[in-house]
Amino acid sequence: MNTGFKVVMLAGVVLAACAPTPKRTTLVVGESSCAPISFDVYFVENQARLTDAATTAIDAAANQISNCSVRSVKVVGLADNVGAPEANLTLSQRRARAAAMALVSRGLPAPAFDVTAAGDAGAVTAEGLDEPLRRRASVVIDARPR
């Protein structure tokens, strides 16, 4: 290798080492758990009592938003199409209330709740097939940072 070329390369390396290093600004943004969430609470057939899994889901949601401002909570109880429509509506109302009461007992603000029931409406598809997984209450919580 040419000696002149080596000198130029060495000078380039030395000058590069002396050049100011660009400043990096590191901004660490933590994920806020204060965001709208939705989840389902499942029930045993013909029951409105919370299962262990349902309680776990409610506990997890309440813990996630414990330091948030809760703007609203919507709970919709559902039932499958087994049984009379009136009984299914009553069952879905009881399911919605059970989920809502569990959330209230964990500190969510009661005035923010909209609790409704759909009974077995929508439990059968347009093709006449049973809609699966209708033994539930659907919960939507609008939580925002304080």
Report the 10 Å Cβ neighbour count for 39: 17
Residue range 132-143: mean pLDDT, rounded: 89
Per CATH, domain 37-145 is 3.30.1330.60:
yes
Where do the domains of the chain lie?
37-145
pLDDT attached to residue 81: 87
pLDDT tens-place string over residues 51-91 = 999 999 999 999 999 999 999 999 999 998 888 999 999 99
> CB 57: neighbour CB atoms within 10 A?
19
**What pLDDT digit, counting tens, does each position of 10-44 carry?**
444 444 444 444 444 443 445 567 999 999 999 99
Interatomic CA distance for residues 34 and 120, integer angstroms: 33
127 versus 90: the higher-pLDDT residue is 90
Q: Whole-angstrom Cα distance, residue 14 to residue 118?
A: 75
